[in-house]
Structure 1
Amino acid sequence: MNLSERQLRQKAMDIRISVIESLAAAGSGHLGGSLGLADIFTTLYFNELNHESQNPKWANRDRLVLSIGHVAPVFYASLAHAGYFSTAELKTLRKLGSRLQGHPATDHQTPGLETSAGSLGQGLSIALGMALAAKHDHAKHRVFSIHGDGELQEGSIWEAAMAAGYYKLDNMVAIVDRNRLQIDGPTEKVMKIEPLAEKLEAFNWQVHECNGNSIHEILSCFTKVRATTGKPQVIIANTRMGAGVAEVENDYTWHGKPPGQQDVDNFIAQVKQSYHENS
């Protein structure tokens, strides 16, 4: 499925609205990162990933490992809008017995999930194993993983990064949500991770950077990724936490806070206005 840039922006708007509505219905969950990653997820599911929503276990599908499981709301919203299940099911987020728990869990049989997520720092190792297996089997699919920048403070990330570079896994694409914020504040005050690009390059990764809230720049970045071989790829996506809602943007206190019912109409109106201003 390849949508136009305008169609992708509209789809990102729809996904943001679903995130706001589902979190408000749940009364708990993570809003900031989910809004910030909506453009990345939209581009993946409606332009970049090779996948079939009506056949989630298709052998030739690209794999997506969500390492930062707390942004499950935007993951679920993207899956629903891509046809894996009804958008109405999004209102069951975090409810007892729902397939859409606060962190993705494969034991709930949620269509489109490749792995469970929760403890940070594990996703790159999982993606590494999948990419190695694909190389061993001469499979053509790619393995994508999505990480928070605060997550890069975990040592296991760098062990996996070293192995991926050593094995030249060019079927592996990591995406870093570089919003420069984590639950306790700015990443560079909690535990500095810069110079990030130079570190990844030293581990033999091909580094790409883009504005992670610009569909145009994201598309351009993926074009460069597809044209590069011989190395694992990483996209440093410079995003704004809470993108689309002024009260949430770049405010780390919204890391794990849902919108209240009184916020829903205002937040959705802002998301719609942002779409129309940029279309």
Structure 2
Amino acid sequence: MNPELRRALDRGLRRVPGMDSATRLLAARLETVRALLARRLDENPLPVPDAVTPSEIPSVAELGPGDRVLAELDQDGFAFAIHPADVAFFNRRSEKMPRLRYRLHIVLHRGYVCVRKRFIGQPRNAPLDAHIFALLGLFFYNEAAALLRLRDLPNVPRIRGIQLTTRTLFLDYVRGRTLQHLVAERGEKVLDIDLAPLGQLFDPDRDRREIEAFAQGGGDAYRGRIEEIVRAMNARGVAPLDVKLGNVLVGEKTGALYWVDFERAALEGTPRYRERLTEHHDLVNRWFGLSLPGDGGA
């Protein structure tokens, strides 16, 4: 499309309440359905290096490798085993923090150990438009489309399944700790479970404390690899806007980094992508101290 025409169209769409989100929903939904019709998920690329295999799960020796739920992931990303034999493998703390917007479980799925992400809606205090677009499936389709675009990258878990009727995604389970977990292990109160006693999970000061702790606690060791991941995602037209330490995982086997969570990513080809790409770069700079080229103006 002619750049001038695209800018004029984008300006017009911004004046219609909800049209921006509706257009993004339509584009992500079409992209996802086309991929399913083309049987893209029939291709089975090898799991990323830190993906867990069924043979590593202790209860498999007792119950076999058939499909079932292995563990639940809480709001802070910690696992809680279903079978007693798996407690030592999964559990790293005793208190569970309930999830708010979706249900996350670790499951055996068609021969793979996967994270099953089922979208259930928004918290009660979320804005009305967030509830409406969650109901329509914006975040589900957005993440599905992003993961399909990134399926060949070595630093993003492979998507293995999409269930449209239940709005459920299956992707390889990568065992490890997030950068937020590493900061918390040094004594910083940055997890949701730390804020729960205060009666709210939003703490305006938490981001600052996380960013400072990351910078002071060895962030230089990760910046180069984070930049490589960001550039690779951007090259495929994906710009995650939920940028934070909790969405970068350090693999337990190799120490490789993985980017997770794409429900709010901007996708190239949707309205205001260049503007959102610039916002994404600003967030990457704020959180990780990486200066990436500006791409605004379109």
Range into which the TM-score falls when normalised by the shorter chain: under 0.3
- The TM-score normalised by the length of structure 1 is 0.27
